[in-house]
């Protein structure tokens, strides 16, 4: 019973996911601190003046309070997180995968277009399954 659990835990995707969650949490705290400590004071000074706290910006309608400052802080944090993930994770991984597949020949096609109705049909088909038009068989 414990042997199966050990195999499950030590599989690559479980360990990778655990590392990703831990790194993601640490990264979120860094981006949150960057937003709170660096960007918010800049936006506060430009938008509301020196004495105000940006997170305290709010307005009320019929007794309901709307915390605009908190929403803008959360939106900035989200945008910074998304941009950092894209530029520091997605782009480098895509470049690495493209470099790994640079010398590979693309796979042979398995379908072709019917000249009459432009539907996708198997490459060895002699007649279109959509419009029943005869088509030429391509050499394999």
Q: Are 50 and 41 in contact (CB under 8 A)?
A: no
**Are residue 92 and residue 127 in the same domain, yes or no?**
no
- Condensed to tens digits (0 to 9), the pLDDT of residues 77-92 reads 788 778 877 888 889 8
CA 11/CA 100 separation, integer angstroms: 24
The whole-model pTM stands at 0.50
pLDDT at 120: 92
CATH number, residue 22: 1.10.1200.120
CA 4/CA 21 separation, integer angstroms: 23
Q: Are 59 and 68 in contact (CB under 8 A)?
A: yes
pLDDT at 138: 65
Looking at the structure of the chain, the number of domains it has is 2
Question: What residues make up the domain containing 125?
Answer: 107-140
**Are residue 71 and residue 121 in the same domain, yes or no?**
no
pLDDT at 139: 59
List of the chain residues with pLDDT < 50? none
Q: Which residues contact 122 (CB under 8 A, 6 or more apart)?
A: 110, 111, 112
**Are residue 63 and residue 120 in the same domain, yes or no?**
no
């Amino acid at each position: 019973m414990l042997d199966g659990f050990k195999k499950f835990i030590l599989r690559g995707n479980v360990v990778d996911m655990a590392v990703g969650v831990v790194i993601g949490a640490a990264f979120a705290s860094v981006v949150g601190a960057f937003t709170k400590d660096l960007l918010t004071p800049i936006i506060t000074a430009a938008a509301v003046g020196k004495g105000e706290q940006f997170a305290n910006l709010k307005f009320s309608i019929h007794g309901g309070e709307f915390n605009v400052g908190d929403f803008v802080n959360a939106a900035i944090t989200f945008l910074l997180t998304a941009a950092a993930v894209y530029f520091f994770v997605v782009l480098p991984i895509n470049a690495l995968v493209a470099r790994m597949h640079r010398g590979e020949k693309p796979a042979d096609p398995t379908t072709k277009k019917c000249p009459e109705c432009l539907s996708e049909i198997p490459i060895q088909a002699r007649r279109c399954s959509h419009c029943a038009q005869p088509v030429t068989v391509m050499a394999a």
